[in-house]
């Protein structure tokens, strides 16, 4: 970079031209820095943790019942008027979902979720899953929709698509007592009264498969929303998931 903007007197360039080019470059750098600074100062930033427990029971005729409990805690929040630090409990989600295998490796699910926070929010959930096996990894697609209803708050409708890549860290399948990586990308379209918004999520995690096939995962969940209705919000969560199949 430095070379590109170096004055080269051997090529008979005038000092005026060199200084003009350098000035333009410095102005450009200043403009970019100010723009980035402006963006960062406008962003709302939150950091927290999402410990979750998912318990599932297989039933007859390809049915499955799943329950998921997830807590949300923040340890950093400057999304409001003042910056908050220290551990702050936000809410607990409790979801109950019934699923049925359709086709050979697809699953259709529907259920509801309660969010216990300052008020109780109710959410209905519908989703369709596909898991595709490859030689040494798996790809999963999830198409979902949910509707959230809470007192004194406009109803919210979300349409979601998630793509997940999963690879064992040893061998071609996840055996007991082995680690694996899982990376998920999700995009959400949110409708709320007259407003629309987009949210993107990226979730890289490392998991461990116990002898019982129960799994534990630790990773990061990055979420950004407010893309269509600025200012945007950045959220970083440390995720800890535990999956139990009984």
Partner 1 sequence: MKSVLFIALILFTTSGIAQTKIEVEKRIPADSVPENAQHFIKKHFKAKRLKWYFEKNQNHSSFEAKFCEFKKHISVEFSTDGTLEDVEVQIRFKQLEKQLETKIKQTLGEEFSNFRILKTQLHFRKYHPEQLQLFFETNTVPKDCFLELIILGKTETSKNRYEILINSNGEKVSMQQLKEQNQLFLQF
Q: What is the dihedral of CA 242, 63, 140, 221, to 10 degrees?
A: -30
Q: Among 107, 126, 224, 234, indicate the residue that binds partner 1 (CB under 8 A).
A: 107
Name the residue with tokens 């029971």.
57
55 binds partner 1 (CB under 8 A): yes
Q: Is 241 helix (H, G, I), strand (E, B) or coil?
A: strand
**DSSP per-residue letters across 150-195:** ETTEEEEEEEEEEEEEEEESSSSS--TTEEEEEEEEEEEEEEETTE
Which two three-digit tokens encode residue 103? 């086709």
Per CB under 8 A, the segment of 24-32, 40-48, 150-158, 207-215 that binds partner 1 is 207-215
Size of the site for partner 1 (CB under 8 A): 49
Pattern 129-168, partner 1, x by CB under 8 A: x-x-x-x--x-x-x---------------------x-x--
DSSP class of residue 10?
G
Nearest approach in angstroms of CB 104 to partner 1 is 5
Residue closer to partner 1 by CB (options 131, 198) is 131
Beta pairing partners, 56: 66, 245
175 binds partner 1 (CB under 8 A): yes
Beta pairing partners, 235: 46, 223
Dist. CA 80–CA 90, nearest whole Å: 14
- How many residues are there in the chain? 246
Q: Among 56, 78, 79, 224, indicate the residue that binds partner 1 (CB under 8 A).
A: 56
Q: Which of residues 87-106 bind partner 1 (CB under 8 A)?
A: 92, 94, 96-97, 99, 101, 103-105
Which two three-digit tokens encode residue 169? 């860290």
Q: Among 24, 62, 227, 228, indicate the residue that binds partner 1 (CB under 8 A).
A: 62
In the complex, which residues of this chain contact partner 1 (CB under 8 A)? 54-58, 62, 65-69, 92, 94, 96-97, 99, 101, 103-105, 107, 109, 114, 116, 129, 131, 133, 135, 138, 140, 142, 164, 166, 170-176, 182, 207, 213, 215, 217, 241, 243, 245-246
């Amino acid at each position: 970079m430095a070379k590109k903007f170096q004055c080269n007197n051997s090529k008979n360039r005038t000092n005026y031209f060199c200084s003009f080019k350098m000035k333009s470059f410095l102005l450009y750098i200043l403009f970019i820095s100010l723009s980035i600074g402006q963006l960062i100062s406008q962003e709302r930033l939150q950091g927290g943790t999402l410990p979750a427990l998912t318990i599932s029971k297989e039933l007859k005729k390809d049915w499955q019942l799943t329950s998921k409990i997830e807590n949300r805690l923040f340890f950093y929040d400057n999304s409001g008027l003042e910056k908050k630090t220290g551990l702050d409990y936000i809410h607990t989600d409790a979801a109950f979902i019934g699923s049925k295998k359709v086709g050979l490796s697809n699953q259709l699910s529907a259920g509801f979720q309660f969010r216990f926070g300052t008020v109780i929010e109710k959410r209905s959930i519908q989703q369709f899953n596909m898991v595709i096996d490859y030689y040494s990894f798996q790809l999963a697609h999830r198409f979902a929709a949910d509707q959230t209803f809470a007192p004194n708050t406009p109803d919210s409708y979300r349409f979601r698509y998630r793509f997940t890549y999963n690879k064992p860290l040893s061998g071609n399948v996840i055996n007991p007592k082995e680690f694996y990586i899982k990376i998920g990308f999700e995009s959400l379209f949110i409708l709320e009264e007259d407003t629309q918004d987009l949210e993107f999520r990226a979730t890289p995690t490392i998991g461990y498969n116990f002898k019982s096939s129960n799994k534990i995962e630790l990773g990061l969940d990055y979420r950004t929303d407010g893309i269509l209705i600025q200012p945007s919000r950045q959220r970083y969560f440390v995720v800890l998931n535990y999956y139990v199949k009984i």
